[in-house]
Chain A
Amino acid sequence: MSHDHDGGFAHPAPPKLLITVFIALVLLTILTLAMSSIDLGLMGAFGFWIAMSIASFKAALVLLFFMHMYWDKPFNVLVFLSSSLFVILFIGLTLMDSSHYKNSVDEYPRQPDPPALSP
């Protein structure tokens, strides 16, 4: 058993680190909100992917430091990250099959699309 260093198997995170991570998370949230409020013109369809990238970066910060993944056993990290593989499979395979009912959906009487709303 590895009781060789003081404090045993606990890895208390330094408070300064936790507070820094929190501030980074808040700033990234403000950035996401600002991005949706101000039309940068450059974003277009990439806006969604940028928002998702920021969310994923925030998720990584939470996982690494709040959830102690940084100090955790590699096997636990592998177990948790394997879930993302199955989520990608789940969403990906469903999207591949998404137009199966397209014909019957197209036949369904629909009203004309409403006027486009500028964001």
Chain B
Amino acid sequence: MAVVEPEHEAHDDHHDHGEFIAHHFESAEQQFDSGKLGIWLFLVTEVLFFSGLFVAYTLYRVLHPEIFDQAHVFLDKYLGFANTLVLLFSSLTMAVAVRYAQLGKNQHVVWYVLGTMVCASAFLGVKAIEYTHKWDQGIMVRSYFDYHAGHHEASMPLARALGVSDYLIWISIVPVLLLVGFALFAVFAKLTEKANAAFFSACMAIAIGGYFIGALAGHFYMELTDGGIGGRSEKAAALMAYEDETHSDHEHTDKPADHHDESAAEQQKETSEIAPYEGPQNDEFDQDIGIFFSIYYCMTGLHAIHIIAGIGFLAWILWRSILGHWRSDYFGPCDYVGLYWHLVDLIWIYLFPLLYLID
């Protein structure tokens, strides 16, 4: 692997712009500044993109604060806390990677970008445990919210053998395929003597391995804490007991006991026009908490999509670091991807207290 050392000599007449300075730029600095302004503008659009969801959150919290007080007992703040630490650490490694790119030390950039990618995957692994645990308990978006304590018996033999939920097996298919694919390609590239490609693929396999580290850690946390609602399971149970009580009352009053009673029939007609009662989907109480989870899934889901995209961009930076592209007058792409990665961290810094730490 070629490692380009920073150029310390003064820029004199031969003025080597390097192979990556586009001809329409006067200098490396001008190219860097243009790119930097561009990435800041992109980050502005990202902030505004997320702010739509923050508006939904704020509006709903202002109008229905009680739903947020009830709903957050279903979220495990310790898993959220662990994920915050993982993301902050990945931001640190990214900042250090940018520093080494600025110094032109490509070999260092490789390791720090790899560290960032492992953390990013681990974040997704913990998130996968969180999501699948919720899906197992019927904590879904509004229309599908149907909470029940305890877990469904897994139907897949593999899931049963591992003691995990079916959902986890399903969403782990992509990381498993990627891990196997990159590992196989690393071996293939090694055999065909493509050293850079082999090294890159091995790094990618390690990066995706982070998902399984995160998922394992999350899984053992859940096992050790018996579902790990972080000391809030009694509250959730109490809430649901109350919900069941009012739920059955509701069912009784809704049934047309006497068809001859005109007012009762009219009332029945009125309620059936608004919300025909046909099971948990039409239970207002469940739906209300379900709206919190609609917001939760949208916000954390969009954030997770950004993490996945970030892993893709980081893979590109990793590849170019392996090729030894960075030097003290050309490190723009690494810096820009770093800025994007920090923004993803920045959004999580707000999401964590807003979703997990409601009191």
Which residue of chain A is the closest to B339 with respect to CB atoms?
A: A67
Q: A9-B329, A109-B274, A117-B73 are in contact. Are A67 and B353 (CB under 8 A)?
A: no
B238 interface residue (CB < 8 Å to A) = yes
Task: Establish whether residues A22 and B47, one from each chain, have CB atoms under 8 Å apart when the complex forms.
Answer: no
The interface centre, meaning the residue of A6, A12, A82, A109 with most chain B CB atoms within 10 A of its CB, is: A12
Task: Establish whether residues B58 and A80, one from each chain, have CB atoms under 8 Å apart when the complex forms.
Answer: no
Nearest CB in chain B: distance from A18 CB, A: 5
How far does the alpha carbon of A108 sit from the alpha carbon of B282 in the complex, in Å?
13
Task: Establish whether residues B350 and A33, one from each chain, have CB atoms under 8 Å apart when the complex forms.
Answer: no
Task: Establish whether residues B70 and A114, one from each chain, have CB atoms under 8 Å apart when the complex forms.
Answer: yes
How far does the alpha carbon of A117 sit from the alpha carbon of B67 in the complex, in Å?
11
Nearest CB in chain B: distance from A84 CB, A: 8
Which of B36, B44, B70, B338 lies in contact with A82, CB distance below 8 A?
Answer: B44
Give the secondary structure class of A's interface: helix
Q: A91-B54, A94-B59 are in contact. Are A119 and B359 (CB under 8 A)?
A: yes
Chain B residues, CB < 8 A from A55: 349-350, 352-353
How far does the alpha carbon of A58 sit from the alpha carbon of B84 in the complex, in Å?
12
A103 interface residue (CB < 8 Å to B) = no
**Beta-carbon contacts of A85-119 to B below 8 Å, as 1s and 0s?**
01100110011001000000100111111111101
CB neighbors of A among B126-159 (8 A): none
Count, chain A residues at interface, CB 8 A: 68
CB neighbors of A among B1-40 (8 A): 6, 8, 10-11, 26-30, 32-33, 36-37, 40
How far does the alpha carbon of A7 sit from the alpha carbon of B95 in the complex, in Å?
18
Which residue of chain A is the closest to B58 with respect to CB atoms?
A: A91
Give the secondary structure class of B's interface: helix
CB neighbors of B among A1-26 (8 A): 1-3, 6-13, 15, 18-19, 21-22, 25-26
Chain A residues, CB < 8 A from B54: 87, 91
B41 interface residue (CB < 8 Å to A) = yes
Task: Establish whether residues B357 and A32, one from each chain, have CB atoms under 8 Å apart when the complex forms.
Answer: yes
How far does the alpha carbon of A72 sit from the alpha carbon of B235 in the complex, in Å?
48
How far does the alpha carbon of A116 sit from the alpha carbon of B58 in the complex, in Å?
21
How far does the alpha carbon of A23 sit from the alpha carbon of B81 in the complex, in Å?
15
Which of B28, B63, B349 lies in contact with A8, CB distance below 8 A?
Answer: B28
Chain A residues, CB < 8 A from B59: 94-95, 98
Which residue of chain B is the closest to A108 with respect to CB atoms?
A: B274
User: What number of residue pairs across chains A and B have CB atoms under 8 A from each other?
Assistant: 180
Chain B residues, CB < 8 A from A33: 77, 81, 357
Chain A residues, CB < 8 A from B81: 29, 33
Which of B95, B238, B285 lies in contact with A66, CB distance below 8 A?
Answer: B95
Which residue of chain A is the closest to B57 with respect to CB atoms?
A: A91
Chain A residues, CB < 8 A from B70: 114, 117
**Beta-carbon contacts of B49-91 to A below 8 Å, as 1s and 0s?**
0011011001100110010011001000100010011001101
CB neighbors of B among A36-80 (8 A): 36-37, 39, 43, 47-48, 51-52, 54-55, 58-59, 62-63, 65-68, 72-73, 75-76, 79-80
Task: Establish whether residues A22 and B92, one from each chain, have CB atoms under 8 Å apart when the complex forms.
Answer: yes
Chain B residues, CB < 8 A from A10: 102-103, 328-329, 331
Which residue of chain A is the closest to B9 with respect to CB atoms?
A: A6
Which of A7, A43, A117 lies in contact with B69, CB distance below 8 A?
Answer: A117
Which of B36, B63, B92, B331 lies in contact with A19, CB distance below 8 A?
Answer: B92
Chain A residues, CB < 8 A from B84: 29
How far does the alpha carbon of A84 sit from the alpha carbon of B54 in the complex, in Å?
12
10 extra interchain contacts, Cβ-Cβ under 8 A, other than A47-B359, A79-B41?
A8-B28, A15-B96, A18-B96, A25-B91, A36-B359, A51-B357, A55-B350, A63-B346, A109-B275, A114-B285
A sample of 11 cross-chain residue pairs with beta-carbon separation below 8 angstroms, ordered by A number, consists of A8-B329, A10-B328, A15-B96, A29-B84, A37-B77, A47-B359, A66-B95, A67-B338, A68-B335, A76-B40, A114-B243
Q: What 9 pairs across the A-B complex have the smallest Cβ distances?
A: A10-B102, A36-B357, A83-B44, A22-B92, A83-B47, A12-B102, A51-B353, A87-B51, A119-B359
Contact residues of B with A, CB < 8 Å? 6, 8, 10-11, 26-30, 32-33, 36-37, 40-41, 43-44, 47-48, 51-52, 54-55, 58-59, 62-63, 66, 69-70, 73, 77, 81, 84-85, 88-89, 91-92, 94-96, 98-99, 102-103, 235, 238-239, 242-243, 246, 250, 271, 274-275, 284-285, 328-329, 331, 335, 338-339, 342-343, 345-346, 349-350, 352-353, 357-359
